Amino acid sequence: MPTIPTVTLNNGVKMPQEGFGVFQIPDFDECKQAVKEALEVGYRLIDTAQIYQNESAVGQAIQESSVRREDIFITTKIWVTDYGFEETKAAVEKSMERLKTDYLDLVLLHQPFNDYYRAYQALEALYEAKKLRAIGVSNFYPDRYIDLANYAKVVPAVNQLEMHVFHQRAEDQYYLEKYGTKIESWGPFAEGKNGLFTNEVLVKIGQDHNKTAAQVALRYLSQLGAIIIPKSVHKERMQQNIEVWDFELTADEMAKIKALDLKQPLFIDHHSPAAIERFVDLKK
């Protein structure tokens, strides 16, 4: 079983650098089975969210697993409709009920809109009460991240962002390192956009290491220092995705992959007025 390295968060908590994401697996049985298989393969970080509608399946899988709860790092994310001090505290309690646990390892605010100041204060209160081992944010671009990091009592431990070989987030990484927050990649495969799995650069580098383009893409992000959470419902792919810790990309290979960076999102632009209006309308 591969040994996944850990990263140390800004409060001393150790977090696996690779985990298993359950985005777009809403079916209860399918999600439960996928999480159980991920734990069997060797994953110890499970990343879910309220909006994924599968926290209950994740909780059931963990309960049925032979892996001890204390050896599993559970992350969930609070959706914008539950932002606000009391609303967010209640939402976290509901997540813990669904996940069948009396504490969570990491809770993130899923989007940087609506009343995220009060929502983050609620996470701080739960962190101080030791119900949460670490807290952070997701999709906070440098402008909002810097504002929150300087405003908050507890600097976010993690910022989970769209990050892949086509959007490498160099500016984000600079500011996150400056303030002591780890970057975590969601969508590390860009959901296959831009032909990631057949990209000539990634394929060629993979051949030199007897690895796939997907494994090279994951290894690249990990060598940038990112936490990665690939997702698959196929056990053999889960195994492949975890087998990225037994090789290292050279400086020349890193430079070639760096050149793939388009420096723009492929999914949601969180600076787009239209996107912001959609998120704001969710709370109304």
Buried b (16+ CB within 10 A) or exposed e, 148-168: bbeebebebbbbbbbbbbbbb
Strands (E), 130-222: 135-138, 158-162, 182-186
270 assigned to a ligand binding site: no
> Distance (Å, rounded) from C-alpha 143 to C-alpha 254?
28
| 141 is known as an active-site residue | no
∠ CA 54-75-63 to the nearest 5 degrees?
Answer: 60
Judged on CB neighbours under 10 Å (0-12, 13-18, 19+), 99 is buried
52, 116, 120, 145: the catalytic one is 52
Q: Please check whether residue 126 is in contact with residue 87, taking contact to mean a CB–CB distance below 8 angstroms.
A: no
Q: Please check whether residue 49 is in contact with residue 77, taking contact to mean a CB–CB distance below 8 angstroms.
A: yes
Beta strand pairing call for 158-162 and 20-21? unpaired
Annotated binding residues for substrate, written as ranges, equal 110
Indicate which residues carry an active-site annotation.
52
Annotated binding residues, written as ranges, equal 110
